[in-house]
Amino acid sequence: MSNPLTRPLLALLATLGLATSAQATVVGGFEAGFDGFTTVGDVYRVDDSFGAGIPQGNWGLFMSTFPNGAGLLGPLTGTPIDQTATPAVPVGTLETFLGLTGGDLDAASPTGAVVEGSAAQVAFTTTATMTLRLEVILLTNETDAWAPAYTDFFFTTLTGEGVVERTNVLDPLVASPGTVFDRDTGWLLVEWVDLAPGTYTLGVGIVDVLDSDLGTAVIVDNIELVPELRVALMLFAGLGGIWIAGSPHRGPRTPRR
């Protein structure tokens, strides 16, 4: 599928030597390992058999707030979720790992205090203005019916930006029958446009809010730096899924932010 207006434009760009430079740089695809990410807490790779779908290749980065505290519903770290269980860490450990100041995660919380969680981060350098994007799905056993203040949330950190809450368990969720979780958000897109040339540290994480019970997790994948030219062409094509490189791309179900 191709917008008829796109092909002549690509030909023109190729003539100008621009199209060949419009390649995305993978920051995190997790196909063969952690891609340089360091981690803290319950973090490991999952493949498509996990049941949530994987937007790029066959592997994504899984992070959770397991185990559940106080024995409620049992500790969910372990089979079938993780054969090599490592527990989520206290909020202070997360903040130290991410280079944050104590209280930064609480300040980003939609409701109450952050208790524990897991995170990963990586440093990268871009020599041109780029759009940084990632895809994420949040999966949870929290229920907003009786505990609306337990807003476990997914956040990002980026040099110069600090902590930003991206999605939480009160956002629209659908049943998640293919996974060990009750509900999920579907795959969401997070992006930073006009990221200036420089060296950055990107962090991603998931946290329990108010207590350590009822686990929430995310899978993050397809973290890439996309040349602004390519983004502009995608908008120009009006289809959102056309990539100059020509590789098929399964877009997120609910683009946001």
Residues that bind Ca ion (CB under 5 A): 29-30, 56-57, 59, 65, 152, 208, 212, 214, 221
- Write down the least CB distance from residue 135 to Ca ion, Å: 9
- In the complex with Ca ion, the residue whose CB is nearer, 73 or 128, is 73
Beta strands in the chain (DSSP E): 25-28, 38-40, 42-47, 59-64, 89-90, 114-126, 130-140, 153-158, 162-168, 174-175, 183-184, 188-195, 198-209, 216-227, 254-255
Q: Is the Cβ of residue 184 or residue 208 nearer to Ca ion in the bound state?
A: 208
In the complex, the smallest distance separating the C-beta of residue 231 from Ca ion, rounded to whole angstroms, is: 20
Q: How far is CA 81 from the centre of its chain?
A: 19
Closest CA relative to residue 218, chosen from 19, 55, 75, 10: 55
Q: How far apart are CA 67 and CA 75, in angstroms?
A: 5
Q: Which is nearer to Ca ion, 19 or 216 (CB)?
A: 216
Q: Which two tokens stand for residue 211?
A: 């207590």
Looking at beta carbons only, is 10 or 220 nearer to Ca ion?
Answer: 220
Report the residue count for the chain.
Answer: 257
Closest approach, Cβ 40 to Ca ion, in A, equals 14
**Cβ 32 vs Cβ 56: under 8 Å:** no
Cα–Cα distances in angstroms (integers) from residue 80 to residues 31, 85, 94, 205, 251, in the given order: 21, 10, 25, 21, 28
Work out whether strand 89-90 and strand 114-126 pair parallel, antiparallel, or are unpaired: antiparallel
Q: Please name every residue paired with 224 in a beta bridge, in sequence order, or none if there are none.
A: 26, 133
For Ca ion, give the closer residue by CB, 167 or 212. Answer: 212
Pick 65 or 168: Cβ nearer Ca ion: 65
